[in-house]
Amino acid sequence: MRNVLISSLGWTPAVVTEVVDLLESEGTKIDEVVVFPTSSILPSFYALLIDFKYGPYKGEKKIERRDLPFDDIRDERDCEAFREIVEKVIDEKREEGGIFISVAGGRKTMPLDMMLVARRKGIKEVYHVIAEEMRGISNEFSAIQKIFDLKGIAEGKKEAPEEILNFIISMCHPKGLTLRLIRIPTK
């Protein structure tokens, strides 16, 4: 049985890897991750691709991006479209194994919409992660995603400088933080 983490994603890609790492530290292996970046957040997805390939997972976990039909959530129709996409992914992935939901990233509407879908689908494994010492996107990641072709690096089309790989991996798996994984009741 494969376990799939379905996660919202914003400017802090570490929230995805933190949930994976915390679940695994509690004995739940995650085999695959599905994220929903808006087009403006693609650098976060590419950072995750790089980390999943070169970081601690060494390519052993699959990460998948589901494209959204809008560049950002702006109204009710976008929220409804997002819910439909999340629901479709849950239905597809449920056939493969266990479903875990992370609502730690993305626009505030995204976690709310994911909670609504999880509750409707009867999913009880819904999580949020909090890093006590950090909030939001780092200035370094903001600069790196503007300077380097993260998509090209993630897709293997560009060579990544070692310091960029090390930065992304350490950003996605920060040391010295007090992390709390919070299971959110869906009843």
pLDDT at 176: 80
pLDDT digits (tens, 9 = 90+) for 146-156: 888 899 999 99
Q: Residue 123 above 80 pLDDT?
A: yes
pLDDT digits (tens, 9 = 90+) for 11-20: 889 999 999 9
pLDDT at 135: 54
pLDDT category at 136 given cuts 50, 70, 90 is: low
pLDDT category at 133 given cuts 50, 70, 90 is: low
pLDDT digits (tens, 9 = 90+) for 43-86: 999 999 999 999 999 999 999 999 998 888 888 999 999 999 99
Q: How far is CA 100 from CA 5, 78, 163, 171, in A?
A: 5, 23, 33, 23
Mean pLDDT of the chain: 90
Cβ(62)–Cβ(33) below 8 Å = yes
Helices (H), 76-161: 76-94, 109-121, 139-147, 150-154
Please name the helix (run of DSSP H) or strand (run of DSSP E) that holds residue 167, with its range, or none: helix 162-172
Q: Which CATH number fits domain 2-183: 3.40.50.2300, 3.40.50.10770, 3.40.50.360, 3.40.50.300?
A: 3.40.50.10770
**Residue ranges per structural domain of the chain:** 2-183
